[in-house]
Each structure stands twice: as C-alpha cells, then as structure tokens.
Amino acid sequence: MGPPIHLEPVGMRHAPEVQRLVTSHPDIVAMTRMPDPYPDDGAAAWLEQAIPKCEAGEWYVFAITREDGQAVGLIGLIGESERGAEMGYWIGGPFMNEGFATQAVGLLLEFAFSELGLERVFATPLERNLASRRVLEKNGLEVARTYPNTEEKWEPTDMFMEYALTRDEWAGSFS
C-alpha cells in the first residue's frame, strides 16, 4: 500500500492537475471512456459538466489526494440510485502501481455502502485492463458478467467485464 490517501470532492481547482495527470500515461485514455486524443481543455470541460451533477447529488466524484495534497487521480460513482451505482477511477502515470487505486476503491466502497446506503456497486473495466481488474478483486468485487464491446473507441473483439459487490457482501468482509 502506498502512503495514506483521501477522497476530496472534485472542483475546478483540480482541472490543471487532472489535465496533466490524464495525459501522463497513454493507458489512462486508452483504457477509459475518455476521448482519444484527449483535448487540451478536456479536464476543465468535463469538470464543468460533472460539478453540477455532483452538487445535485447525481454523481459523486472525488480527487484522490495524498496527505500532502497532491492529486494522484480521480474516482467516482455515477448512476446512483437506491439499488446501486457504477464506479470509475484512474490513477496518473507517475503514481501507478503504488496502491493508490486499491485504497481509493476501498474508501469509495465505504462511502457508497455506509453513507449513501447503496445496495450494489459495480465497475466495468475492459477485459484486457488487468491492473484495474486486480484492484477490484483486492476490494472484494467479483465478476458478474462478461459482455462484448459496442463502443467505437475499441475493437469489436474487446470485451468488458462487470465486477460487482453488494452491501451485504462488503459488510461480511469485516466479520
């Protein structure tokens, strides 16, 4: 595990750092639903759309920050309802493989189940995104299904894997 991290509600103040981090490693854009190539104003434009949804309680997006305040990535929940929400996350290139994603997913699951009272959280990495799959598995999420890609960004042969965890399963991991 890396140094302790915090989840900080995202704001426009994060735009420059998010922009720098998104473009710090080619896998960030390649393995996520971000546009490719990533626009020069991509972070600011996305945050302008995301912040009102966060303020309305429709989305929950957080900057993943170290104790020194350095942002290392983003994590969030979208499509939140009583039943569940989809989780997405990424870590900037300079901070990959330091345990930040594993910690952030754990903190977000605690938020989702304890504070929001969600019944289920799921994530849908590409099958070939082994790093993301390992992070999910370390946090107790299990494969619910595998399904074909229908998005133009990736090859028709690419597959997605839906990983899921219920509140009861999460609570049982502390017994």
What pLDDT tens digit does each residue of the chain (175 aa) get?
A: 668 999 999 999 999 999 999 999 999 999 999 999 999 999 999 999 999 999 999 999 999 999 999 999 999 999 867 679 999 999 999 999 999 999 999 999 999 999 999 999 999 999 999 999 999 999 999 999 999 999 999 999 999 999 999 999 999 986 5
* DSSP H or E run through 170: helix 167-172
Q: What is the dihedral of CA 7, 80, 88, 50, to 10 degrees?
A: -70
Looking at residue 79, what is its pLDDT? 84
* Domain residue spans of the chain: 5-172
Looking at residue 175, what is its pLDDT? 58
End-to-end CA distance of the chain: 22
Single-letter amino acid code for the residue at 59: W
CB within 8 A of 72, min separation 6: which ones? 5, 21, 64, 65, 66, 91, 92, 95, 98, 100
Looking at residue 125, what is its pLDDT? 97
CATH 3.40.630.30 fits 5-172, yes or no: yes
pTM value is 0.95
Q: How far is CA 42 from the centre of its chain?
A: 17
Q: How far apart are CA 75 and CA 111, in angstroms?
A: 12
Q: How far apart are CA 141 and CA 83, in angstroms?
A: 16
Q: Which ranges constitute the DSSP H helices of 31-129?
A: 42-55, 100-110
Q: Tell me if residue 138 falls in helix, strand or coil.
A: helix
